């Protein structure tokens, strides 16, 4: 039975997603006539916080919103999910973050452009102000839609307390060694993993095991590379292991990686093994992709447990 008191601190972004479903994603310079439009709560940090809360975690979110309708809507959603908003800072002179998202009706794949707004103003001082939350946390979850120096401070505070620090490295970039040295588990997708190690589009011939080995050489302690329908690759100094995915019909992959990371954090913080935590997180993400919306599509813990029991 999940420990409802497992405390997770999430530091990251909160956005409002403006989503258009379309028969196919546009190529550069192409205009595509889309279909249904929807407004959905999103943002990597917020998605991860909601996922962790729905998996049974006690979640504190450290983030910034604007003093606008989008920000108020986001805050109300967090309260509804039981997330602690003590450290959800309101920025009067900035807009809340917004993401423009096109989702393919055929594959569920997506294309996203983010206007950070208040997310870009989340500071190391904001993280420091939340020190009391870190003192009782069992894991820290981070992503890269807020300033890197802020993520660095949060990683330092988590590592100082010897609790798992989990980084979902998106949007992807090359990361400083001093940050990687503080990360317990890195959760990139394949594209992000390639970009982190400098084996991107110009080096597509590099296989996953080569990329995984390079991640370890760059100072990563443990990585879980998510591969969508192909499952995940668990990378540790002891070796590389594939974790299969559950077969589902994907309708919307937006937020799937965030759902995976939030669920993984709760399981690791509760003392589950890495392999078991990856299996559980994979099932949570599998359910998410069968549903529309970044946060609206995140399942409850009972649904994930039921899926695993059936499979």
**Which domains does the chain show, CATH number per domain?**
7-13+43-87+119-310 (3.40.1190.20)
Among 17, 126, 252, 258, the one annotated catalytic: 258
Can you give the pLDDT at residue 84? Answer: 98
To the query of whether residue 135 is one of the catalytic residues in this protein, the response is no
Residue 241 CB coordination number (10 Å): 14
Instruction: Tell me the per-residue pLDDT of 85-123, one tens digit each, with 9 for 90 and over.
Output: 999 999 999 999 998 989 888 888 888 888 999 999 999
Nearest partner of 183 among 225, 141, 135, judged by Cα: 141
Query: Residue 292 gets which letter from DSSP?
Result: S
Chain centroid, CA 188 distance in Å: 9
Can you give the pLDDT at residue 311? Answer: 76
Can you give the pLDDT at residue 111? Answer: 86
Can you give the pLDDT at residue 289? Answer: 95
Can you give the pLDDT at residue 2? Answer: 45
Beta strands in the chain (DSSP E): 7-11, 15-22, 37-42, 58-66, 88-91, 97-104, 110-115, 139-143, 165-168, 185-186, 223-226, 232-236, 239-243
Residues of the chain with pLDDT under 50: 1-4, 202
Angle between helices 208-217 and 190-197 (to 10 degrees): 50
Can you give the pLDDT at residue 204? Answer: 57
Report whether 199 contacts 210 (CB < 8 A). yes
């Amino acid at each position: 039975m999940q420990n409802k008191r497992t405390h997770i601190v999430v530091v990251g972004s909160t956005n409002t997603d403006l989503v258009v479903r379309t028969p196919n994603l546009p190529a550069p310079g192409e205009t595509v006539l889309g279909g249904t439009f929807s407004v959905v709560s999103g943002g990597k940090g917020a998605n991860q916080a909601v996922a962790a809360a729905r998996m049974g975690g006690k979640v504190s979110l450290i983030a910034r919103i604007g003093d606008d309708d989008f920000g108020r809507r986001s805050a109300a959603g967090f309260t509804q999910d039981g997330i602690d908003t003590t450290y959800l800072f309101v920025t009067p002179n900035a807009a809340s973050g917004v993401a423009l998202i096109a989702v393919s009706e055929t594959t569920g794949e997506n294309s996203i452009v983010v206007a950070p707004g208040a997310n870009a103003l989340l500071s190391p001082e904001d993280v420091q102000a939340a020190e009391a939350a870190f003192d009782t946390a069992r894991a820290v979850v981070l992503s890269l839609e807020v300033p890197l120096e802020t993520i660095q401070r949060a990683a330092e505070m988590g590592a100082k307390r010897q609790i798992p620090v989990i980084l979902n490295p998106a949007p992807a970039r090359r990361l400083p060694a001093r940050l990687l040295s503080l990360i317990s588990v890195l959760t990139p997708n394949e594209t992000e993993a390639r970009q982190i190690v400098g084996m991107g589009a110009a080096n597509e011939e590099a296989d996953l095991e080569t990329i995984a080995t390079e991640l370890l050489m760059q100072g990563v302690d443990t990585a879980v590379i998510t591969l969508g329908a192909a499952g995940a690759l668990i990378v540790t100094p002891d070796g590389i292991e594939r974790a299969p995915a559950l077969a589902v019909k994907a309708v919307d992959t937006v937020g799937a990686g965030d759902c995976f990371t939030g669920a993984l954090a709760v399981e690791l913080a509760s003392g589950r093994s890495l392999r078991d935590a990856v299996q559980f997180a994979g099932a949570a993400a599998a359910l998410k992709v069968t549903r529309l919306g970044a946060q609206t599509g995140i399942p409850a813990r009972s649904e994930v447990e039921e899926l695993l029991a059936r499979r």
